[in-house]
Amino acid sequence: VSFDFLARLQQGPVLGDGGCIFELERRGYVQAGPFTPEVVLEHPEAVLQLHREFAHNGAEVIQALTFYGSRDKLGRDPAEVNRAAVRLAREAAPSLGVAGGLSPTPTFRHGDRSEVLQLMRQHLEAQLEEGVDLLIGETFLWLEEACLALQAMHIADLPRVVTMNIGPQGSRDGFSPDECARRLEAEGAHVIGVNCSYDPQTSLTTTLLMKTGCYLACQPIGYLHECGGPFESWAEFPLELESRQLSRRALGNFARQAELHGVRFIGGCCGVAPYHVRSMAEALGRKPASSAKSADLRLHMIPEVRERSAAEKLSAAAP
């Protein structure tokens, strides 16, 4: 194995990337609504560039853009899309971890369980042929679907991450975060936690409700939660989320908090862009390549900016 994810986790926090689908939607390459990843075939250069930006800003694991890449969601044979997705991630970040993965399937809501399992195995097939370092099953609203993903992931001997798309109230099938954690641990996950839909503070609270022997993962959205509920329930979803965009400092603070509470796989989901990842990396004491361009406002041309920056530095240093 070129990238030993479990060994890295044992040493300390591992930083993931942000939300590729949302970022590529903003850039005009992905359609809001379906949010499917055909961009890997239609505009591979856009995907490659975004992966490179996440790597440049300190991500240690790059997620291949296989989200919603199952046959029922894509409406086509998924092999070509998933193969291209993994190749692009590997090309962008040859020395980093490349994660393959699984996502929710429309079939789960009306199909039988063996059909879902079959779709998930097919979703993984080309990814595994292409070669990934770990698998991430993410954004599951139902614990039962997450367990099917975990079952499908057992066809490979790779580290298994499963993150639920839940808040403190738990899954749609009625399981608390802690019950989700116990079940996913019992079914062979190495890393469990939450991703998407909730802001960093809520996501961290939910993650810490999980009492488990597994490593914890927390990959929240980059938007501020004010009125409660997952972001899909906000009036701003998905075309006015800019008004709720969290700053790079907010994401940096989140990364520090997550580390203090023992979360080992830290990252972001929708609304978390490369510049947020740089702040997260620096909050964890890292110096990614992009830190060469980190701000020094003492060099600003306007005196007030220089003075304010000096005052902020002093107050930050005060006890």
Min. distance of Cβ 308 from Zn ion in angstroms? 35
Residue 24 or 270 having the CB closest to Zn ion: 270
Q: What is the DSSP string of 150-200?
A: HHHHTTS-S-EEEEE--BTTB-TTS--HHHHHHHHHHTT-SEEEEESSS-H
> Contact at 8 Å (CB) between 124 and 156?
yes
Min. distance of Cβ 291 from Zn ion in angstroms? 26
Residue 242: Cβ-neighbour burial (10 angstroms; 0-12, 13-18, 19+): exposed
Task: Indicate whether 196 belongs to the interface with Zn ion (CB under 5 A).
Answer: yes
Closest C-alpha among 185, 261, 176, 249 to residue 218: 261
Structure tokens at 118: 């079959």
**Dihedrals phi, psi of 101, to nearest 5 degrees:** -175, 180
Residue 163 or 290 having the CB closest to Zn ion: 163
Residue 143 or 270 having the CB closest to Zn ion: 270
Q: 3-state DSSP call for residue 16?
A: coil
Task: Indicate whether 24 belongs to the interface with Zn ion (CB under 5 A).
Answer: no
Structure tokens at 128: 């595994």
| Stretch binding Zn ion (CB under 5 A), from 7-15, 96-104, 255-263, 265-273 | 265-273
| Strand-by-strand arrangement of the 160-164 sheet | 14-15, 265-266, 215-219, 191-195, 160-164, 134-140, 97-102, 61-63
Task: Indicate whether 270 belongs to the interface with Zn ion (CB under 5 A).
Answer: yes
**Applying CB under 5 A, which of residues 153, 269, 280, 284 lies at the interface with Zn ion?**
269
Residue list 68-107, contact with Zn ion (CB under 5 A): none
Residue 237 or 275 having the CB closest to Zn ion: 237
Min. distance of Cβ 220 from Zn ion in angstroms? 9
Residue 271 or 288 having the CB closest to Zn ion: 271
Interface with Zn ion: number of residues (CB under 5 A): 3
Residue 57 or 103 having the CB closest to Zn ion: 103
Report the DSSP beta bridge partners of residue 195.
Answer: 219
Min. distance of Cβ 91 from Zn ion in angstroms? 24
| Stretch binding Zn ion (CB under 5 A), from 26-34, 192-200, 202-210, 302-310 | 192-200
Binding site for Zn ion (CB under 5 A): 196, 269-270
